[in-house]
Amino acid sequence: MKGISTIIASIMLVVITIGLIAVAYLYMSGLMTGITATNIKLEDVFCNTTHMIYLITNIGTANVANVTIYMDGQLQQDKTCNPTLPIAAGGSTTCIHSATVAGYHDIRVVGPSNAIAVKPMC
């Protein structure tokens, strides 16, 4: 009896270990795919005396739509880009806001899964 119990215990430990590894792999692969599939980045903000130009890049693996831009917590609706059009994976777009306020600003580009902030100086 003593030898059989040791064999069964060893088999159970191997099965439990393989199960935990499988669960961890599935969790991490699903988590990483969800983050990287729709990921946008505010590359830069260019300012002149009359406009702010936002360069937005889709660094994810899926198309991104419904991108919104906030400056100092205020939604920027006066811009020439169409935020409902998808930005293709690996592609980029520019948005032009028709007002410039000198100084540092908290710019947030909000997509379906993230928000990125920079502080440009105009």
- Name the strands in the sheet holding 40-47, side by side, starting at the edge strand that comes first in the sequence: 40-47, 52-58, 92-97
φ, ψ for residue 3, nearest 5 deg: -70, -35
SS (H, E, C) 29-81: HHHHHHHHHCCEEEEEEEECCCCEEEEEEECCCCCECCCEEEECCEECCCECC
What is the pLDDT confidence band of residue 14, given thresholds at 50, 70 and 90?
A: very high
For 45-85, the pLDDT digits (tens) are 887 777 788 888 888 788 887 777 887 788 877 666 665 66
Q: What is the pTM of this model?
A: 0.61
